[in-house]
C-alpha cells in the first residue's frame, strides 16, 4: 500500500477532487498524517483537481449545455438552484458554492451557461478552490491527527481506516445515485 500511495497518491487526489472532493481529501489528509504524503502536497493536488473540475464543467456549460443536461441528471437536478444562487451572489457564487454540495458540482457549469466571462470565472474559481483546498485539506489533516491521538499507533489500523474512509465515500456516491434514480422514477410515474 505504501508503494502505491507513494507512486500514485497525489495523482489520485487530483483525479478524486476533479470528480468528487471531500472524501478523497479526507483520505489524503490521513495519508499525510501517516507520513506517506506531504500535507502541502495534498492541498496543492486538491486545488489542482478541483480547479480542473471547475474548468471542465464551465466549458461544458459554455459549449454544450442542452446535451450535457440530458446526459447528467445530477447537474439537471441542481441547475435551477445553482442559477438562483448565481443570480443572488454573482461571481462570489464560485467562492461560496464550493462549500455546498450540489452547488460545487453545478457551479462551473452554470457560470458557463449564463455566460460569465472566462477571466472572471477563472479568478473566482481559483480563489474558491484555493480556500476550499486549504480549509478542507487542513481539517482532514487535523482529523487524521485526532485519530492518531485517540487510537495511538494508527499504523496498525491504517488499512482498515483507509478502507472505511473509501467505503464511506463510495457509499455516499451510491446513495446519491440511488436517490437521484428514485426521484427520476417517481417523476416519470407522476
Return the pLDDT at 41: 92
Place of cell 495511538: 152
Query: Is 56:170 a contact under the CB 8 Å cutoff?
Result: no
The per-residue pLDDT of the chain, averaged, comes to 76
Return the pLDDT at 47: 95
Contacts of range 32-38, beta carbons closer than 8 Å, 24 or more positions apart: 32/140, 32/141, 32/144, 33/141, 33/144, 33/145, 33/147, 33/148, 33/154, 34/144, 34/154, 34/155, 34/158, 36/2, 36/5, 36/6, 36/9, 37/5, 37/9, 37/10, 37/13
pLDDT average, residue stretch 43-51: 94
pLDDT average, residue stretch 17-26: 80
pLDDT tens per residue across span 115-148 = 888 998 999 999 999 999 999 888 888 887 777 7
Binned at pLDDT 50, 70 and 90, residue 162 comes out as low
Q: What pTM was estimated for this model as a whole?
A: 0.73
Return the pLDDT at 45: 94
Confidence check: pLDDT of 108 > 80:
yes
Cα(153)–Cα(157) distance, integer angstroms: 8
Q: CB 173: neighbour CB atoms within 10 A?
A: 12
Place of cell 426521484: 183
Joined together, the cell numbers standing for residue 30 give 490521513
Residues in the chain: 190
Instruction: Identify which of 45-49, 68-72, 182-186 has the greatest average pLDDT.
Output: 45-49
Binned at pLDDT 50, 70 and 90, residue 184 comes out as low
Amino acid at each position: 500500500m505504501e508503494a502505491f500511495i507513494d507512486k500514485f497518491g497525489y495523482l489520485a487526489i487530483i483525479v478524486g477532487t476533479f470528480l468528487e472532493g471531500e472524501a478523497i481529501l479526507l483520505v489524503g489528509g490521513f495519508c499525510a498524517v501517516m507520513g506517506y504524503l506531504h500535507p502541502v502536497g495534498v492541498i496543492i493536488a486538491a486545488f489542482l483537481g478541483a480547479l480542473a473540475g471547475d474548468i471542465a464543467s464551465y466549458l461544458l456549460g459554455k459549449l454544450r449545455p442542452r446535451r450535457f443536461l440530458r446526459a447528467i441528471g445530477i447537474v439537471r437536478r441542481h441547475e435551477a438552484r445553482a442559477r438562483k444562487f448565481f443570480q443572488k451572489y454573482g461571481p462570489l457564487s464560485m467562492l461560496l458554492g464550493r462549500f455546498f454540495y450540489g452547488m460545487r458540482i453545478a457551479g462551473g457549469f452554470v457560470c458557463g451557461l449564463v455566460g460569465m466571462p472566462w477571466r472572471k470565472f477563472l479568478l473566482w474559481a481559483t480563489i474558491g478552490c484555493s480556500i476550499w483546498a486549504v480549509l478542507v485539506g487542513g481539517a482532514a489533516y487535523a482529523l487524521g491527527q485526532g485519530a492518531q491521538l485517540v487510537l495511538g499507533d494508527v499504523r496498525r489500523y491504517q488499512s482498515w481506516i483507509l478502507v472505511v474512509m473509501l467505503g464511506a465515500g463510495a457509499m455516499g456516491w451510491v446513495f446519491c445515485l440511488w436517490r437521484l434514480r428514485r426521484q427520476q422514477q417517481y417523476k416519470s410515474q407522476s
